């Protein structure tokens, strides 16, 4: 990571993992599969329903030894069309994140485990995860989860109703974080 100057969070990319109704307000989430708060936010975003969620990795090895390997695992699952299935599975049972449990999840999801392991170790997968982390830091992410939206005040109010209170607007970096219940 050589350039960490502030920059806007990049807009939606072709390789982002996105789910939700087309045309709905976008919520960009930088998260980590070892983070309990991220698991809660993931479930609450599913409950909101009227948003399009894009997931990017904010996996820091310094926070948890499994953060980066799990991010790479999710990218490997994505190569078999199972990013969101593994995403939901990892957040549903965060007490079982070691490799034997991960392989069992892959088998349960119908993934080719040998291909999964090869993809997980692919340098391109590691670079994808590192790119997401680098962009999160440049955009001002300081914790997991970090959320940005292109939605209006109604979207932010709806998210606040579901307990998601720290959201930033997409665009140039902001000073500090949004406060509980404050308009952004």
Q: What is the pLDDT of residues 1-49, one digit of tens each?
A: 555 556 777 888 999 999 999 889 889 999 999 999 999 989 988 887 7
Q: What is the pLDDT of residues 162-177, one digit of tens each?
A: 666 576 666 655 544 4
Is 183's pLDDT higher than 60? no
- Reported as type and span, the H/E element at residue 65 is none
**Which pLDDT score, from 0 to 100, does residue 74 have?**
98
How many whole angstroms separate alpha carbon 72 and alpha carbon 132?
A: 12
SS3 state at 23: coil
Query: What residues have CB less than 8 Å from 4, skipping those under 6 apart?
Result: 134, 137, 138
Query: What residues have CB less than 8 Å from 84, skipping those under 6 apart?
Result: 17, 19
Domains of the chain: 23-169 (3.40.30.10)
The answer to whether 53 and 19 are in contact (CB under 8 A) is yes
Q: What is the pLDDT of residues 71-119, one digit of tens each?
A: 999 999 999 999 999 999 999 998 888 889 999 999 999 999 999 999 9
- Reported as type and span, the H/E element at residue 84 is helix 83-92
Is 181's pLDDT higher than 50? no
* Per-residue CA distances from 50 to 19, 29, 31, 134, 154 (Å): 11, 15, 20, 29, 11
* Per-residue CA distances from 122 to 97, 116, 125, 128, 172 (Å): 20, 10, 5, 10, 33
The answer to whether 18 and 42 are in contact (CB under 8 A) is no
* Token pair listed for 17: 């993992």
**Which pLDDT score, from 0 to 100, does residue 52 have?**
92
pTM recorded for the entire structure: 0.84
**Which pLDDT score, from 0 to 100, does residue 139 have?**
86
């Amino acid at each position: 990571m050589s350039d960490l100057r502030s920059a806007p969070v990049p807009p939606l990319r072709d390789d982002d993992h996105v789910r939700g109704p087309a045309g709905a307000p976008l919520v960009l989430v930088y998260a980590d599969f070892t983070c309990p708060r991220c698991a809660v936010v993931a479930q609450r975003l599913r409950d909101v329903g009227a948003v399009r969620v894009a997931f990017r990795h904010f996996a820091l090895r310094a926070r948890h030894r499994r953060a980066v390997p799990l991010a790479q695992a999710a990218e490997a699952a994505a190569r078999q069309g199972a990013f969101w299935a593994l995403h939901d599975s990892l957040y549903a049972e965060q007490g079982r994140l070691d490799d034997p449990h991960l392989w069992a999840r892959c088998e349960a999801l119908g993934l080719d485990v040998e291909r999964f392991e090869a993809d997980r170790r692919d340098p391109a997968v590691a670079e994808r995860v590192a790119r997401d982390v680098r962009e999160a830091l440049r955009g001002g992410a300081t914790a997991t989860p970090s959320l940005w939206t292109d939605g209006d005040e109604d979207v932010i109010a709806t998210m606040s109703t579901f307990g998601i209170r720290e959201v930033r607007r997409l665009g140039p970096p902001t000073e500090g974080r949004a406060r509980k219940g404050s308009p952004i």
